[in-house]
Structure 1
Amino acid sequence: MTTKKIELHVHLEGSIQPRTLLEIARRNHEPLPVDTVEGLAELYRFTDFRHFIEVWVMTTNCLRTADDFRQVVVDYARQAAGQGAVYLEGIFSPAERVEADGIGWDEIFTGYCEGAVEAEEHFGVTVRLTPDLYRGCPVDLAEECARVAVRYRDRGVVGLGIGGDERRGPLAPYGKAVRIAQDGGLAFVPHAGETAGPESIREALDLGAVRLRHGIRAVEDPQLLAEIVDRSVVLDVCPTSNVRTGVVRDLSEHPLPRLREAGALCSINTDDPAMFGTDLNREHDVAAGLGLDASAAYAAGLAGALCDDAVRARLLP
């Protein structure tokens, strides 16, 4: 019997299987630097985190239409449900599509929201959505994105995040965008403690983060880690991702065991599964090898989920 799983951290654009990505690029007449599955596999050999971001932007720019965005959700939900997923929080990056390609906000949000509905109807997996800003995003665009996200709250949008390379700059310029989202009933779920250390985590918590995407570098500051544990802030841990982007040198050095030993709640996630050559089963196997079993991962996922009470009651083990 497949073990039930909750995933809180998957970038939907990074979940597109190579063959599908090539098909989407061709139908939208958006050339990629490679035109074969083997070529994409080679492209996905990242040298460091910055190289990963460059490739991510390059490849995801082929997405153009509401149907593209809908397909991305449905395809990943099918795969994840087959591996036991009962609840997903999917990340997507609308501001990048608007800024780079001039795609309309509603085209993007409608596609993802319709995909979430279809995913539940066909595969029984509940999908909620958490659009991401990115460090370096123009502030006015970030604030507009937050307003649009609030408009889609009744269609499955439950949070607002900020991703990208933490070393590009602080979160402070996006304080108003975060407040717009929070005032509109959305949770703030930023990336922090991935490419930067405890100071990045502290900044995210001070802005009202209710969960941390990654957060693994909290182990560098025992006092901060103790606070995370005391506040029951869930860390969305993505072991393979951390190795593939060079954040952690080797799985044997991953801080997950130390986080768990301190009492931190750690959900287990794929991050960008197609780009990192992983899936939910593999990540749970990796986590088990690092001392986190499936029941603890599920409990952390449930604790961190941004769903309503009715969904939460349905997800109880």
Structure 2
Amino acid sequence: MTTPKIELHVHLEGTVRPATLLEIARRNGETLPADTVEELAELYRFTDFGHFLDVWGMTTNCLRTADDFRRIVVDYAREAAGHGAVYVEAIFSPAERVEAQGLAWDEIFTGYCEGAVEARERFGLTVRFAPDLYRGCPADLAEECARVAARYRDRGVVGLGIGGNERRGPLEPYRRAVEIARDGGLPFVPHAGEAAGADSVREALVLGAVRVRHGIRAAEDPTLLTEIAGRGVVLDVCPTSNLRTGVVPTPDAHPLPRLRAAGALCSVSTDDPAMFGTDLGREYALAARLGHTAGDAYAAGLAGALCEEPVRAFLAEGAPTSG
């Protein structure tokens, strides 16, 4: 029997397998610098974090319709359920689609939310959403995104995050957007401590982060790491992602064992599984090689999940044994 798993950090745009991405691109009249699955795989050989973000923008702009968004939720739900996932808290980036492509907010949000309903009906998998802003996003657009996200709280949106290149700028310009989301019942779950160091994590906590996507570079600051462990702030660790973007040079150099030894709660996720050539089973296996068991990962996932209480109670009943 497959061990039950919780995933808190997966970008739905990054779950689209190459054959599907090529199909969607052709249907929507988008041109990619790759015509075959093999060529697209070569495109996914990232040289560094900046290169990954460039490819991310180029490929995710292929998604244009509510049905595209619905489909990628359902496709990933099928895949994740096959690896034992019982709860997925997924990310999508609506402000990018609105700014770059002029799409309507409701087209984007409705497509994703309808996908979650279908995922539940077909695979018994609960999908919730914590969409991302991005660093460099105009503040007024970010605030509008926060308002729209809050409107969809009763359809499965449970949080608001921010992604992109941490070196592009501070989080402070997005304080008002974070406050709007929080007032609408959506906690703040930003990316931090990935391409930038421990100060990035500290900045996220100051702005009220209840969980940190990545956060692995908190290991560089023992005082910060002690604070994270003491406060029970969950770090969403994505081992293969860190390796593929060059944030961590080798599996043995990954800071997960140090984070764990300090008492930090670490969930385990895929981040962008199609782009990184991984899946949820492989990520749990890699974490286990680093001493972080499936039970440990599930417990951290349960602690960090932003879902409503009935879902949390269901997840608690199915928790595997830790240790």
TM-score, scaled relative to structure 1: 0.99
Letter of the 2:41 counterpart: A
Q: Distance in 1 between matches of 2:23 and 2:89?
A: 25
* Cross-structure match for 2:220: 220
Alignment deviations for residues 200-220 of structure 1 (CA, whole Å, 9 cap, x no partner): 111100111000000000011
Letter of the 1:44 counterpart: Y
Q: Distance in 2 between matches of 1:130 and 1:263?
A: 25
* Cross-structure match for 1:109: 109
Q: Distance in 2 between matches of 1:262 and 1:158?
A: 29
Would you identify which runs of 4 or more consecutive aligned residues in structure 1 move more than 4 Å?
Answer: none
Letter of the 1:52 counterpart: F
Alignment deviations for residues 169-205 of structure 1 (CA, whole Å, 9 cap, x no partner): 1000000000000010001000000011111111100
Report percent identity of matched pairs: 77
Q: Distance in 2 between matches of 1:68 and 1:35?
A: 19
* Cross-structure match for 2:313: 313
Q: Is 1:98 the counterpart of 2:95 in the alignment? A: no
* Cross-structure match for 1:257: 257
Matches within 5 A, 1:135-284: 135-284=135-284
Q: Distance in 2 between matches of 1:17 and 1:187?
A: 30
Question: Deviation of residue 57 (structure 1)?
Answer: 0.3
Q: Distance in 2 between matches of 1:308 and 1:105?
A: 24
Unaligned runs of 5+ in 1: none
Question: Deviation of residue 35 (structure 1)?
Answer: 1.1
Aligned residue-pair number: 317
Q: Distance in 1 between matches of 2:77 and 2:187?
A: 22
* Cross-structure match for 1:50: 50
Q: Distance in 2 between matches of 1:125 and 1:117?
A: 9
* Cross-structure match for 2:126: 126
Question: Deviation of residue 48 (structure 1)?
Answer: 0.3
| SS of corresponding position for 1:278 | coil
| SS of corresponding position for 2:69 | helix
Alignment deviations for residues 33-89 of structure 1 (CA, whole Å, 9 cap, x no partner): 111100110000000000000000000100000000000100000000011000000
Question: Deviation of residue 258 (structure 1)?
Answer: 0.3
| SS of corresponding position for 2:291 | coil
* Cross-structure match for 1:28: 28
| SS of corresponding position for 2:212 | strand
Q: Distance in 2 between matches of 1:124 and 1:83?
A: 13
| SS of corresponding position for 1:8 | strand
Q: Distance in 2 between matches of 1:90 and 1:39?
A: 27
Question: Deviation of residue 106 (structure 1)?
Answer: 0.3
Q: Distance in 2 between matches of 1:22 and 1:276?
A: 17
| SS of corresponding position for 1:136 | coil
Q: Distance in 1 between matches of 2:62 and 2:20?
A: 11
Q: Distance in 2 between matches of 1:216 and 1:80?
A: 24
Question: Deviation of residue 238 (structure 1)?
Answer: 0.2
* Cross-structure match for 2:83: 83
Letter of the 2:297 counterpart: A
Q: Distance in 1 between matches of 2:72 and 2:153?
A: 20
Q: Distance in 1 between matches of 2:113 and 2:83?
A: 22
Greater Cα offset, 46-55 or 193-202: 193-202
Q: Distance in 1 between matches of 2:192 and 2:120?
A: 30
Letter of the 1:6 counterpart: I
TM-score, scaled relative to structure 2: 0.98
Alignment deviations for residues 12-48 of structure 1 (CA, whole Å, 9 cap, x no partner): 0000010000000011111111111001100000000
Question: Deviation of residue 273 (structure 1)?
Answer: 0.1
* Cross-structure match for 2:63: 63
Alignment deviations for residues 261-309 of structure 1 (CA, whole Å, 9 cap, x no partner): 0011000000000000000000011000000000000000000000111
